[in-house]
Amino acid sequence: PRDSVRATYARLIDNAERFYREKLDHVTQLLQNTTAIDTPNDLLDLAFAWSKINLDESFACNPDLGCGLVAGWGPSGTGTRPGFGWYFGGDAAINSFAMDAAGLWPEVAQGLRFLATYQRNDGKIPHEISQAAAHLPWFDGTFPYTYYHLDTTPFWIVAVWRYWTASGDDELLRELWPAVRRAYAWCLTRDSDGDGIIENGPGNLGAIEIGDLGVGIHQDIYVAAVWIEALRAFAELAAAKSEEALAQHADQIRELASLTINEEYWRADEGHHAFGILNSGETNNNLTVWPAAAAAFGLLTPERAESTLTKLAADSISADWGARILSTGSPLYDPMHYNNGAVWPFVTGFVIWGQYNYRRPWAGLPLLDALAQMAFDWAPGRHPELLSGRYYRPLDTAVPQQFFATAMLLSPVVYGMLGWSPDGPGAHARLAPQLPPGWERVAVTNLRVGHTELDVSFEQAAGSFTTELKVEGPPMSVELVVPIPSGARDVAMTAGPAEGPGRGSLRSGTHDQRYAISLQVSTTPIRVAVTWSGGLSVEPPTVRLEPGQESHGLRVLDFRSTGTGWRIVIEGDADRHHALRLAGEPVRVSGGPATSEYSGSFNILDIRLPAGRGRVTTTIDLRRDQP
């Protein structure tokens, strides 16, 4: 028979020292054998390590239900049981992305199996499962919570695919493929109007659970983004299972759904994507954080993505400590409201990831730095569920150890800042780092893809970017994409020993240039050096957070080459001075309220924002400072 609660408590207290040492040994092994980063930002490195520890703690076993991934841990409050420690399907899927990146593959595999075990007969994946579910009529519809989210099922499909592309685990894919097919079939039943997007409705919640923002919603952009990514996932999984007809079917729907999200959701007058389409056929035009999910998955056309991401970078969404759900300019905004204005680290991660995905690191890193600080301001090594939209402090109702908050520090670091994209079945990966120009060296170890572990280091100096790669295990191919500053010239590359100089391709983008090279990497280190002259890049402005503060930091909304120079658009508090560092060649200000001083390969802009009230936006034009 099981111990009583009191007997369990007594055993834990009596053996506290032994359990502590066992835990310490476990964590030591965890940190040694999973992905690690070493950057000039020691706090970010520590927060990254704690994220792995937190996500490892999300794995929980219930003697009646089995082992899976819970959403968080909180105090019992006035009750007698730990708070919040239920199995949440959507949270587990989101957290699995970070766990894939860290190398916590056994836990992810079991978490995916656990959710498949409780898949409804029609294919829907459970949203949440109580720890007491075995002793309740939990799965028969008596309680509304079990399957009441729409996004959980496509998210689970994406999670299976991302795990498989990282690990190459064909055995788990074979085991779960029937459940994946049922999940896909259920999703297809949720598109009644034939536009390719699955739809919200009673018992099928998406981005919004409570509040007026969700009134009359037919479909929302968050669920639309997850579904479009699930279509890509299902098509690739079906192709891997040699079910070409299913793969083609998913591809056809994805093409239609992509057209819908890029055309029907786009609001030209507002300059951003709508939150959702209403039952009336009109759109909910509120500026929300939710288009960031589509940006993170790379689903938005570049020009329109630029416009929306610029809006998301502004203080009306991105406070100094994270992204608000809803713009401060909306009449529905309430900084204390769960869905109508609070800051969520979880959605902040999508904003960071999306900004990096569209080559806007100066808008992504400040939020990433804020999440690193947040990991130690409220509970050491933990991220709270949500915070006030007005003041830097968690809401009283927030879960103090929320795993999808923690996951959304780790995922944007690996998939955003490092640009990591693994292909385990193909023994291949892509690395496209976008590091702050002031970081001289970054090392990453134990990046896992299939049966191979990759170690990589990056070194930056004025006019050069050097990468060294080596692996343990079978050789692999790597596509390395090196960032080149906007406006740089005379780009050249040397590599060895496997590649000779001159191989690769240079591509210009809106905000920078990129030099791509394909490499075969083995246990013999490969070193790639790319050099250039001139050019300019932005050192992202960060804020030292103080608990209880309001949001006053500088935002970089846009930066690009104009052909004859550069243009930078910034936002900040009116009538204040701000300093901004630009790495590269000397420049002079040709327009805008700023002066420039050059020191040690950096231009220091002294910006005086115009007088007024609240936040103001201004444009600064720069030219090369000719001798």
Q: What is the pLDDT of residue 499?
A: 47
Report whether the peptide linkage leading into residue 541 is cis, meaning its omega lies within 30 degrees of zero: no
* Inter-residue contact 482 to 495 (CB < 8 Å): no
The sign one gets for the Cα dihedral 229, 230, 232, 236 is positive
Report which of 122, 300, 156 is spatially closest to residue 227, judged by C-alpha positions. Answer: 156
Instruction: Give the three-class secondary structure for 11.
Output: helix
* Inter-residue contact 344 to 322 (CB < 8 Å): yes
Longest dimension (CA), the chain: 85
Sorted by where each begins, the domain ranges of the chain are: 1-33, 437-535, 562-624
Per-residue pLDDT, averaged over 355-382, amounts to 96
Taking the C-alpha atoms of residue 404 and residue 414, their distance in angstroms, rounded to an integer, is: 15
Q: What is the pLDDT of residue 500?
A: 43
> Model confidence at 5, in pLDDT bands (50, 70, 90)?
confident
Which phi and psi angles does 261 have, rounded to 5°? Answer: -70, -30
Report which of 542, 561, 552 is spatially closest to residue 484, judged by C-alpha positions. Answer: 561
Q: What is the pLDDT of residue 497?
A: 76
DSSP 46: H
> Model confidence at 153, in pLDDT bands (50, 70, 90)?
very high
* Inter-residue contact 186 to 178 (CB < 8 Å): no
What residue has token string 């936040």?
615
* Inter-residue contact 148 to 205 (CB < 8 Å): yes
272 phi-psi bin (left φ>0, alpha ψ -120 to 50, beta other):
beta
Q: pTM here?
A: 0.97
Fold (topology level) of 437-535: Immunoglobulin-like (2.60.40)
CA of 92: how far to CAs of 63, 83, 312, 315, 465, in Å?
A: 19, 17, 26, 30, 37
Instruction: Give the three-class secondary structure for 340.
Output: coil
> Does pLDDT of 501 surpass 80?
no
**H or E, element range at 375:** helix 361-377
Per-residue pLDDT, averaged over 106-121, amounts to 98
Q: What is the pLDDT of residue 437?
A: 97
Per-residue pLDDT, averaged over 192-218, amounts to 95
**Which string of DSSP letters, residue by residue, matches 543-580?**
----TT------EEEEEEE-SSEEEEEEEEETT-EEEE
> Model confidence at 2, in pLDDT bands (50, 70, 90)?
low
Q: Count CB neighbours of 245 within 10 A.
A: 8
Q: ∠ at Cα 90 (87, 93), nearest 5°?
A: 95
Taking the C-alpha atoms of residue 466 and residue 468, their distance in angstroms, rounded to an integer, is: 7
Report which of 505, 478, 485 is spatially closest to residue 493, judged by C-alpha positions. Answer: 505
Do the bridges between strand 555-561 and strand 565-573 make them parallel or antiparallel, or are there none, so unpaired?
Answer: antiparallel
> Model confidence at 554, in pLDDT bands (50, 70, 90)?
very high
Note the pLDDT tens digit of each residue in 394-430. Answer: 999 899 999 999 999 999 999 999 999 999 999 999 9
473 phi-psi bin (left φ>0, alpha ψ -120 to 50, beta other):
left
Tokens of residue 189, six digits: 């039943």
Do the bridges between strand 441-449 and strand 36-38 make them parallel or antiparallel, or are there none, so unpaired?
Answer: antiparallel
Taking the C-alpha atoms of residue 236 and residue 429, their distance in angstroms, rounded to an integer, is: 16
Q: What is the pLDDT of residue 495?
A: 87
Return the minimum-mean-pLDDT range out of 2-11, 400-409, 548-557, 612-621: 2-11
Taking the C-alpha atoms of residue 356 and residue 350, their distance in angstroms, rounded to an integer, is: 10
Q: What is the pLDDT of residue 611?
A: 87
Q: What is the pLDDT of residue 35?
A: 98
Tokens of residue 34, six digits: 């999973």
Taking the C-alpha atoms of residue 477 and residue 603, their distance in angstroms, rounded to an integer, is: 38
Q: How many CA atoms lie within 13 A of 94 on its CB side?
A: 28
Q: What CA dihedral angle connects 254, 255, 261 and 262, to 10 degrees?
A: 150
Residues 6+ apart with CB under 8 A from 604: 579, 580, 581, 596, 597, 598
* Inter-residue contact 225 to 151 (CB < 8 Å): no
Note the pLDDT tens digit of each residue in 54-73. Answer: 999 999 999 999 999 999 99
Beta strand residue intervals within 325-475, DSSP E: 401-402, 421-423, 428-431, 441-449, 452-461, 464-472
Per-residue pLDDT, averaged over 594-616, amounts to 94
> Does pLDDT of 82 surpass 70?
no
Mean pLDDT in the chain?
Answer: 95
